[in-house]
Amino acid sequence: NAIVALLKDTKGKIYEVETRKFNKADVDRIVLNVKQVWEETITKYRVPIENCICVADNSDQSISAQIQKNGVKIQNAVKVEKVQNIIDMKGSLNRGDFLVHSGVLTDEFESWVWKYDEENKTVIYEPDDDFYHPDACFAAMYSWRYLKSH
């Protein structure tokens, strides 16, 4: 599991402001962490609550419902064109349109590995989960995509 808080300035530049990564969390722990990041981001960066949204990288509607009951505006990520969005987000990082600071996110970007078809000697543009699963990268990607479109 991972939570990545991003902000977008008036010029469209996106900034990572906090990342938390934790494994095998129960629903209560996920809800608590999301609520903490939500409240801390609103307070620290003085972001109007109406300008905040949580984009969930999960298909479990019950977790999202529990988060919403705790006062966090949330929507589940739309999981389309994942590979293209990953490529676009990495391009945004390279151009400096998306700035990250945490070791968690930078470590994941550096550890990212695509699948490789040994028989055909070709790259398959899907993350190789057997090697490494980039939870924070996916969390960042869904939020980044949301911010780019709004």
Segment 80-111, tens digit of pLDDT: 888 888 889 989 999 999 999 878 888 888 88
User: Distance between CA 41 and CA 11 in Å, rounded?
Assistant: 19
- Please report, for residues 1, 51, 63, 65, 143, the alpha-carbon distance to residue 72 in angstroms, rounded to integers and kept in the order given: 18, 12, 12, 10, 15
pLDDT at 38 over 70: yes
pLDDT at 129 over 80: no
More confident position, 94 or 112: 94
Let me know: does 68 contact 54? Beta carbons within 8 Å: no
User: Distance between CA 65 and CA 75 in Å, rounded?
Assistant: 9
Q: Which of 75, 54, 139, 130 has its CA nearest to residue 104? A: 139
For 64, residues 6+ apart whose C-beta sits below 8 A from its C-beta are: 56, 58, 74, 75, 76
Amino acid at site 10: T
Whole-number pLDDT of residue 41: 92
User: Distance between CA 103 and CA 4 in Å, rounded?
Assistant: 12
Confidence category of residue 45, pLDDT binned at 50, 70, 90: very high
Average pLDDT (38-67) is 86
In whole numbers, what is the pLDDT of the chain averaged over residues? 87
User: Distance between CA 136 and CA 150 in Å, rounded?
Assistant: 21
pLDDT at 29 over 70: yes
